[in-house]
Structure 1
Amino acid sequence: MDLLNRVKDAGVIGAGGAGFPTHAKLAAKAEYILLNGAECEPLLRVDQQLMAEFSEEIIKGLEAAGQYIEARKAVIGIKGKHKAIVKLLREKITALGLEDYMEVMELRDIYPAGDEQVLVYELTKRVVPEASIPLKVGCVVINSETALNIFNALSGKPVTETYLTLAGDIPNRLTVKVPVGMPIRELLRQCGLENGDDYAVIDGGPMMGSLLDGIDGYVTKKSKGFILLKKDHFLIRKKSVNINQGRVISKTACEQCRMCTDLCPRYLLGHDMQPHKVMRALSYDLKDLKELQIAQLCCECNACELFSCPANLHPKTVNIFYKQKLAEQGIRYQPTQVEFQPRSAREYRLIPSKRLVAKIGLTLFDKPAPLTTIQFKPEYLEIGLRQHIGAPSQPIVNLGQHVEAGQMIGKIPENSLGAPVHASMAGTVVEIKDNSIVVKVG
């Protein structure tokens, strides 16, 4: 079995972000394979610690993927501030005899350095065209944990666990390996909170993560962190505003200062993403959605909404509002050019991570979250059938069936984009829902 099918059978997806199936990403040829180790979201600590703990495995996984897609060069992108990890990676690359094929490049401590298109430019000086993907400029991008999972897949080990950070206004900040399907409620007990009634939880990083309605969900393959903050914190209040509320607030108060556009990472790369124009259209209640196709260029990094806007408005929310309207009418953005150049002001408008952390009120909580070994013993696991982009997996187990850890329990539908799912612990199937399988552990 070749690498592609091993990765496919192991259910490897992008470990973080949207969860794109990795086998589909590797079914192409590219000049570069890039490892995204930027981890630009404040407070999250997974990638940096995995690169320290499993440097050799990650390097071998990246090399195997690079050789498969016939990349002439593999590049690891990591922030230069992680000096010890940079040194370790370079030493490992040399020890493995890969110095002619692979290199480590140091990234600046900016947000969003981990945005796929920002990363491609920082590492290769190539700009991904509007509404396109890195492959268009000869690049394939995977992150640190995905490379580790590719390495494991080569020895037949499927993805049954994920690494995530628990951080925020809590006594115990830590990074842990968690079985997929673990109840979030049980996981949060590790934070040391005696009473969580005054707290809200962000699923993911503080910038792009979404506010959980409750904590009765479960961990997926792409879970990268949970940020716990008191309900009166700025971020929680900001993320509690729904689309309609954000639209009304923005319509009444936008002063057209352009700060949202001038600091937009995609605009600075030369794209036509101009949030202030979308805000203007909202203010004047313009009906011609074709003129607002630029909203579809928004990567939802939230820099405009949480950092740039001096009036504390909701440009990203307004972009999402128009994205939905455009989708309803079947309108898709059509680029008018092929090649792009970064805007001349880009070097002077990058967002320093420390300034961002201060602006969103997280300086007090920007502390280490050490990788900690915890033996989780949940009573039940709920394993999602749609933890990835594409069609949901189809159950291949029955009620009452005993399953072993690592056993495939959900399969990709024929001729569909997707990823299989596996039992993360041994147990008995007690319920099969539309989008998940519940396993009683033991």
Structure 2
Amino acid sequence: MNLLDKVREAGVIGAGGAGFPTHVKLETNADYILLNAAECEPLLRVDQQLMELNTDEILKGFEAAGRFVDAKKAIIGIKEKHKSVTSKLQERISALQLQDYIEIKKMPDFYPAGDEQVLVYELTSRIVPEGGIPIQVGCVVLNSETALNIYNASQGTSVTEKYITVTGDVPNPLTVKVLVGTPIIDVLKLSGIEKFDDYAVIDGGPMMGPILENLDGYVTKKHKGFVILKKDHHLIRKKSLNLDTATKVNKSACEQCRMCTDMCPRFLLGHSIEPHKMMRAINYAITDIEGQKSAQLCCQCNLCELFSCQAGLYPKLANLHYKEMLAKLGVRYKSSKTEFSTRAMREYRRLPSKRLIIRLGLNKFDKSAPLTNSELTAKTVAISTRQHVGAPAEPVVSVGDKVDAGQTIGKPPENSLGAYIHASIAGEIVKIEKDLIVIRGD
């Protein structure tokens, strides 16, 4: 099997949270392959620690992917503040004799440096077209943990483990490797909190992550972190507002200052998205959908809601309101632009992460979360069939079957976008539901 087949059968997906099947990214030719090592969400600590502890494996996986897509250059994008990690990477690049192929580019510490399209521009000066993807400008982008999983796949190891940061208002912030399918509540309790009646949990980073509606779920290959905060924290209150209520609030107070637009990362790249116009459309009940199509360019980074808007309104949810409306109508934005250039003020409007963390009220929780050898073992795991972009995996096992750790238990439907899933423990299939395959360990 070639690398693409190994990556496909190992079930490698984007480990940064999006969950796009990685083998699809390898089915192309590119000028550049880029390693997204920015980890721009506040408080999350997975990627930096993996790069320091699994340096060679990540570099080898990154190089292998780059060679496979025939990229002429491989570039690692990392924030300049991560000096020790950068030194380790540089040392091992030289030791592995990859210095003519892999280059490190340091970036300022701003949000959202890890946005795929922002990263492409920072590292290559190319601008991904509106509504487009990096390969349209000759780039393939991988997350650091994804590169590690590519290396593991090349050695015949499937994705059955996940690295997760558990942090926030907790006594024991940590980063931990757990089995896919582990109950989320067991992972949360590693933070030192046993009862969560007074807490809410953000699934992912504090900017883009939603609040978990309940804690009864299971770890998937897409999980990156859990931020635990008291329910009365203003970030939790802000994220708890539903779309209908947010729309009413937006109608009542928007003064059209346009800060949401002027600070928007995609607007600053030259895209046509203008959140203040979506707010205006809601305020004045404008029904001309042509002017609202640009809402589909929103990347949901949440900078407009959680930093830019001085009135505490909800521009991102205004974009989401029109996204949903346009989706129901079957309407898609089509760009008329063929060339893009950044806005003149972009260099001065990149938001420093420290300012963002203070605004979010998270500065006292901005601590290290060291990678810890957990003794957490799952006697029963529940493997989701929907832990990736595309069609859910179809089970290839039946109730009562015995399986080994790493064995394939689900495959994507024929000719569909999707990913393989695997047993993370050895045991017996005890239940197959619509979205879960449950395994009881031996």
Aligned counterpart, 1:309: 309
Amino acid at match of 2:351: I
Give the conservation status (yes or no) of the 8 Å contact 2:409–2:422: yes
Is residue 244 of structure 2 the alignment partner of residue 244 of structure 1? yes
Amino acid at match of 1:250: N
Aligned counterpart, 2:335: 335
Give the conservation status (yes or no) of the 8 Å contact 1:110–1:351: yes
1:243-282: per-residue Cα shift (whole Å, max 9, x none)? 1111111111111000000000000000011000010000
Amino acid at match of 1:306: L
Shift in Å, 1:338: 1.3
Give the conservation status (yes or no) of the 8 Å contact 2:430–2:439: yes
1:143-186: per-residue Cα shift (whole Å, max 9, x none)? 00000000000011000001010000000000000100110111
Matches within 5 A, 1:12-411: 12-411=12-411
Task: List alignment gaps of at least 5 residues for structure 1.
Answer: none
1:149 & 1:167 partners in 2: Cα distance?
A: 24
1:361 & 1:2 partners in 2: Cα distance?
A: 48
Give the conservation status (yes or no) of the 8 Å contact 1:4–1:27: yes
Shift in Å, 1:195: 2.8
Shift in Å, 1:428: 1.1
Question: How many matched pairs?
Answer: 442
1:78 & 1:266 partners in 2: Cα distance?
A: 20
Shift in Å, 1:287: 1.3
Moved >4 Å (runs of 4+): none
Amino acid at match of 2:292: L
Amino acid at match of 1:115: D
Aligned counterpart, 2:431: 431
Give the conservation status (yes or no) of the 8 Å contact 1:290–1:331: no
Matched position secondary structure for 2:166:
strand
Amino acid at match of 1:228: I
Aligned counterpart, 1:420: 420
1:254 & 1:382 partners in 2: Cα distance?
A: 45
Shift in Å, 1:16: 2.2
Shift in Å, 1:290: 2.0
Amino acid at match of 1:345: M
Matched position secondary structure for 1:342:
coil
Give the conservation status (yes or no) of the 8 Å contact 2:218–2:382: yes
Task: List alignment gaps of at least 5 residues for structure 2.
Answer: none
Shift in Å, 1:61: 0.3
Matched position secondary structure for 2:381:
strand
Q: TM-score, normalised by structure 2?
A: 0.99
Which stretch of the first structure deviates more once superposed, 371-380 or 289-298? 371-380
1:63-112: per-residue Cα shift (whole Å, max 9, x none)? 00000000000001111101011011011111111111111111110000
Give the conservation status (yes or no) of the 8 Å contact 2:179–2:378: no
2:406 & 2:435 partners in 1: Cα distance?
A: 19
1:439 & 1:251 partners in 2: Cα distance?
A: 49
Amino acid at match of 1:167: T
Shift in Å, 1:197: 1.0
Amino acid at match of 1:267: F
1:339 & 1:433 partners in 2: Cα distance?
A: 48
Q: TM-score, normalised by structure 1?
A: 0.99
Shift in Å, 1:436: 1.2
What is the identity percentage for the equivalent residue pairs of Structure 1 and Structure 2? 60
Amino acid at match of 1:318: A
Shift in Å, 1:379: 2.7
Amino acid at match of 1:436: L
1:425 & 1:111 partners in 2: Cα distance?
A: 38
Shift in Å, 1:194: 3.7
1:44 & 1:177 partners in 2: Cα distance?
A: 14
